[in-house]
Structure 1
């Protein structure tokens, strides 16, 4: 978890095995990587500057490129030659005034010819997909009203529409949520304002053909606490886990319904779709305990990291119902999982396969060796999982006794391939050698076909996406 702080290029990276020729495009991922040591003691590990990696794969070869996002924070701190920004999402702890303090370090995606480096506390930064040059803060040519932009926009596979939202959309501590969408051409379509029942984290959301669903994590914000030098977030075990359901097309502010479930931590969404009876099904990991244990409750209570378990769960909504109390979520995978991904061609539709990170304690991971060198704060996953939702079978690929794996992405074998027929790619942290590998699995056989051996170590990242060469060229 030490900073990487590398910018540059590595051409024709070493490959073990054989990369299938149909894999042609770029895997972009972003990691929080502090440019300077923080002046906050025990600073949250993902309070680092956004650093974007690009793995360009073509003709069985890989070219690697990496650059920091030139945010206002990054440029001001480089000029001062020291850290200027304080606690995570608390401007009252800074030692300099910034117009925007976002680090753009959570997700990187391709839309309308630009890369967008996103963090949910501000607007995205646009980057050049080829050079990774930062083009500047991006408000979609003045169309965006919200002060914030989600790190998890969703894309309609049929229309190319990008479905988005911002929470705390009128500034820190505000309950306002702005829902908006952009057509493939970058023009705004829907734009409606909502008010959440509590000022809470909405890290991810889900989209169906006709609805959007906003899961509220019971990490709540208090401006008074922030002004006193405290944390932006504090776990609240006394409130429900809210799910806001809003019509996707032509909504009004009063159309949102806030369904309630028991207090829990909803993780990253896998997918959502509408059933034949009009109900909505959403799959996502859920934990009974506070996954972000570094932000405890008001009494300082937090679970031990070893006690955490997020299980892939299914939540069903009836958007026509006036009963806001939801039935107990159905657990569809008993393993401890996170970062679920699907074949994105089937987003917003009933899906059969789900790919995810798994922590399987029965596998022979050498935790004593890893713990001595890795540092803390990052969820640990020792396997890649493929879940067949039809049969319930979970296939696992163990990444090694002294390795941990990051978020996977799925690459279709071809545009016409069946769902789940393709490749799964993920970055692996090799703690024995303190280096990083990119592994590529054949999803059909669920076996390794290639391993890209980087000559350096990358810090643990958050999210990334695969962009096909034809989409980059369009």
Structure 2
């Protein structure tokens, strides 16, 4: 009997050309290196990409609904080893046994072919904590992996301490205390407005738990932590359980809903301590950093757009912006945590370019900082879009350069990787022996559409204009979401 499961991926941009699923596991040693790879770099760059094992039975499945496939680039003594392995989630294992896709729409369990205990794809971020890797998807608990072999250890609930059914894809590590600061939204299940905030000591013990209720059931993809405060930016992408039960999308853009920022004390807070501040309807992207001023006010830097960046989830009338018109800028809010709830003052645009995937020297996370690094789209740089457009495939908005913004001088340096290249999220690597902020290297995966393969570009932040080393991969890695550098 012929199978009704699709035997090939849909003929859609998110499954075509450079975005064709890779479905590769294995290891390649001694990658080709062009240029000078400094011997003082000793560690591993981990990143994860959505990479579906099987063609979906949802025809227009979004590109980030795929299985988490983790890459490890191990750099030591000027040599690079590449290793890649799927996270063995419940979804991955059961679909492998069935020989076909079993999961339905993005974060809609009512559209699945079978019932899952945990629906995670573990495809959004990969972080190091307590000598293991945690593969993260914000609708579920983490999956633990061995940092050396990339073998999946299993679902990780911190020895049963995890109080919520969800766990953020963007936990923050305090560089001084070693604490992991975390939260889960929709923390009591799909469609619930509950937020669970918790802190975890470096040994894995939970040190506090606090339950909150958001004004709306909206997406809280990233958040910010200072030495004394925690901030939750709520997107106007809202969930409705009844819509999901009817086979609809988990998220729907709400043009009537403001951008909310919830603020609580980092330590010793009660549920009643939360304050919800508002700004006009807009889309908060990834956080760069946050810190406290001498006057007690909080500086909060993040990407902000006046349009729905997740345009594939339109509003109730089906309206969504043309992707070419979406422009996200590095923006600074100043929040007075002692003020009454209400509207926030107009923010300051720190860099007016179209940017995202902000990273910093994480030794200054939650503290006053100077340097930020991010992806930038500047069509004036000379990218040959007529040549690469037909083979790009579809993913998140493309970025053609890496940028370094100096918050003290207001100046921005730009690295342009080439006319047939686009960049993915960078990571910062501190220079060995230096404690100075921003003294180090920037490493990013780069798509080469001429060779249809991937490269790693390493920049020395002392000379940001050119790559110090280019590391060639013999394969193509589709767009990923997030990753992190882990020093040896």
- TM-score bracket relative to the smaller structure: over 0.9
- Distance in 2 separating the partners of 1:377 and 1:107: 17
1:361 Cα deviation after fit: 1.3
The answer for the alignment partner of 2:318 in structure 1 is: 300
Q: Quick check: 406-415 or 167-176, which moved more?
A: 406-415
* Aligned pair partner of 2:361 in 343, 346, 352: 343
- Distance in 2 separating the partners of 1:282 and 1:14: 40
Q: Indicate conservation of the 8 Å contact 2:276/2:341, yes or no.
A: no
1:143 Cα deviation after fit: 0.5
The answer for the alignment partner of 2:334 in structure 1 is: 316
Secondary structure of 2:63's aligned partner: coil
Secondary structure of 1:46's aligned partner: helix
1:16 Cα deviation after fit: 0.6
- Distance in 2 separating the partners of 1:207 and 1:312: 17
1:367 Cα deviation after fit: 1.3
**Within the alignment, does 1:185 sit opposite 2:203 as a pair?**
yes
- Distance in 1 separating the partners of 2:133 and 2:406: 32
**Within the alignment, does 1:51 sit opposite 2:69 as a pair?**
yes
Q: Deviations over 1:172-191 (max 9, x none)?
A: 00000000010111100110
Q: Deviations over 1:271-305 (max 9, x none)?
A: 00000000000101100000000000000000011
- Distance in 2 separating the partners of 1:399 and 1:302: 31
* Aligned pair partner of 1:162 in 180, 196, 200: 180
Q: Deviations over 1:362-388 (max 9, x none)?
A: 111111222211211322000000000
The answer for the alignment partner of 1:107 in structure 2 is: 125
The answer for the alignment partner of 1:194 in structure 2 is: 212
Which ranges of structure 2 fall in alignment gaps of 5 or more residues? 1-18
- Distance in 2 separating the partners of 1:58 and 1:381: 29
The answer for the alignment partner of 1:123 in structure 2 is: 141
The answer for the alignment partner of 1:135 in structure 2 is: 153
The answer for the alignment partner of 1:175 in structure 2 is: 193
Q: Deviations over 1:33-83 (max 9, x none)?
A: 000000101110100000000000000000110000000000000000000
- Distance in 2 separating the partners of 1:145 and 1:332: 38
- Distance in 1 separating the partners of 2:433 and 2:355: 28
Secondary structure of 2:47's aligned partner: strand
The answer for the alignment partner of 2:381 in structure 1 is: 363
Secondary structure of 2:81's aligned partner: strand
Secondary structure of 1:105's aligned partner: coil
TM-score under structure 1 normalisation? 0.98
The answer for the alignment partner of 1:425 in structure 2 is: 443
* Aligned pair partner of 1:459 in 472, 478, 486: 478
- Distance in 2 separating the partners of 1:434 and 1:461: 16
* Aligned pair partner of 1:287 in 291, 305, 308: 305
1:417 Cα deviation after fit: 2.9
- Distance in 1 separating the partners of 2:396 and 2:287: 19
1:415 Cα deviation after fit: 4.7
The answer for the alignment partner of 2:250 in structure 1 is: 232
**Within the alignment, does 1:468 sit opposite 2:487 as a pair?**
yes
Secondary structure of 2:419's aligned partner: coil
- Distance in 1 separating the partners of 2:341 and 2:169: 31
The residue correspondences of 1:213-224 to structure 2 (distance < 5 A) are: 213-224=231-242
Q: Indicate conservation of the 8 Å contact 2:395/2:479, yes or no.
A: no
Q: Quick check: 409-418 or 226-235, which moved more?
A: 409-418
Q: Deviations over 1:99-142 (max 9, x none)?
A: 01110000001000110000101001000000000000000000
- Distance in 2 separating the partners of 1:431 and 1:137: 37
1:445 Cα deviation after fit: 1.2
* Aligned pair partner of 2:403 in 385, 392, 417: 385
The answer for the alignment partner of 1:34 in structure 2 is: 52
Secondary structure of 1:79's aligned partner: helix
1:432 Cα deviation after fit: 1.1
**Within the alignment, does 1:69 sit opposite 2:87 as a pair?**
yes
TM-score under structure 2 normalisation? 0.95
Q: Deviations over 1:130-161 (max 9, x none)?
A: 00000000000000110000000001000100
The answer for the alignment partner of 1:472 in structure 2 is: none
The answer for the alignment partner of 2:454 in structure 1 is: 436
